A and B are shown apart, each in its own frame.
Chain A
Amino acid sequence: MYAKEMLKQSLPLLIFCGLGGIVAGSTLSVMADIIQNIPGLIVVIPAIIALRGNISTAFGSRLGSAYHLGIIDAENMWNNELKQNVIGSLVLSFLISTIIGILAYGTTILFFDVHPDPLKLISIVLLAGIISAIILTLMTIVIIFIVFKRGYDPDNITGPALATFGDIVTMFCIFGSAILVEVIM
């Protein structure tokens, strides 16, 4: 019975998240040309997606705990506790994006003797990291607000919702940043 309940509750959600993955993957396949044109771009993709997933799920689960602790609620959302969380997530995104850019540049030279344009690569990662951070932070706050209003437990909703939309938003941001940087530089 125990196993049946797990299957019944999680399987639809897993398939739904998989559909989100198909959308993110289709974006990636549309990017095939730009991936070939910008050396090192493919290297940063798993790292940016992982960064986004880790930071926004932690942000979501902290807001969930804050709700259970009674620190924030639907009437009192934009307080200093929320602001500290938002600033923390954005600063982390900025720092980790920079590390990703530098690591990708260094390891690409080391392993493949291919020389990517460091300025281009780091700009793409930073732009994609920051823009996706802003979009997903706002999205998390909106999701949490709706969840509060309806009286659901945020812990059950934010994780899967962010897992599904996070990858899609991030992939769009990488694609957009790559095109932007390619046009400007």
Chain B
Amino acid sequence: MIYNWKKIVRFGLPLLTLCIFIEIFAGQMLHLGQKTLVVFPIFLISIPVINGVGGNIGSILGARLASGLHVGYISLNVKDEKMRENLITAILMGIITYAILAILIYYVASFGGIQMGISLIEFISVILGVGVLLVCVISLISVFTAFWSFKKGLDPDDIVAPVVTTIGDTLGIMLLFLFIGAVGI
């Protein structure tokens, strides 16, 4: 027998507990901004989207870098061409995804009869502002984590996904409130 439930629990518990500590801070930020979110429910709809896309971009990039490092067509060098190509494509892909989803969210919300209080242009600026900053930071963290874990002899496949999703959730919510404030609503 290869798997043993006690081992699964023992290996999973430390990293998960650490992630949960950080996620609780993300939750407390939501708590802090709860009034804004209840007045503008469209941002409640956006939260899982902002966090989900950010985490996915970071994970995809991390998995691609991990495969490249394992196979050897990506080298541990900040000037590596293939790494930079992956990084730029990930950021570009993130921006396109956020732009499309921002428009979709706005129309889903207005179709669902939700109290809007914000124009399409304002809403897209907020989501794109958050999205562009978030994918840039998450992609850089993904590259850093993949390179760092590979250098340490760890498998980036095990490390990058939990790191980028956890940091992405916290940063995404923080940036959202920052941009809501900046638009001045």
Binding site for B on A (CB under 8 A): 2-3, 6-7, 10-11, 14-15, 17-22, 24-26, 28-29, 32, 35-36, 40, 42-47, 49-51, 53-55, 57-58, 62, 66, 69, 71, 80-81, 84-85, 87-89, 91-92, 95-96, 99-100, 103-104, 107-108, 111-112, 159-160, 163, 167, 171
Contact = CB atoms under 8 A, between A and B. Distances in A.
A123 B161 CA distance: 29
A171 B44 CA distance: 12
B56 A163 contact: yes
A22 B23 contact: no
Given A6-B86, A14-B56, A25-B44, A91 B23 contact: no
21 contacts: A6-B64, A14-B57, A18-B53, A18-B100, A19-B101, A19-B104, A21-B51, A25-B44, A29-B41, A29-B42, A35-B34, A43-B31, A45-B27, A46-B27, A47-B26, A50-B165, A51-B23, A54-B162, A96-B17, A107-B28, A163-B52
B2 A71 contact: yes
B173 interface: yes
Interface string B30-55: 11101001100110111111011101
Most buried by B among A26, A81, A85, A91: A26
Contacts of B104: 18-19, 22
Interface string B1-44: 11111111100110011011101111110111010011001101
- Taking residues whose C-beta sits less than 8 angstroms from the other chain, chain B's interface range is 35 or more
A92 B93 contact: no
A79 B108 CA distance: 44
B3 A100 contact: no
Contacts, number: 203
A24 B34 CA distance: 18
Tell me the dominant secondary structure on chain B's binding face: helix
B165 A32 contact: no
B154 interface: no
Nearest to A168: B48
B108 A26 contact: yes
B53 A42 contact: no
B19 A84 contact: no
Contacts of A112: 28, 31-32
A17 B30 CA distance: 22
Nearest to A65: B2
Contacts of B114: 29
B184 to A, nearest CB: 22
A16 to B, nearest CB: 10
A32 B112 CA distance: 15
Contact of A42 (B34, B41, B57, B105): B34
Contacts of B19: 50-51, 54
A44 B162 CA distance: 18
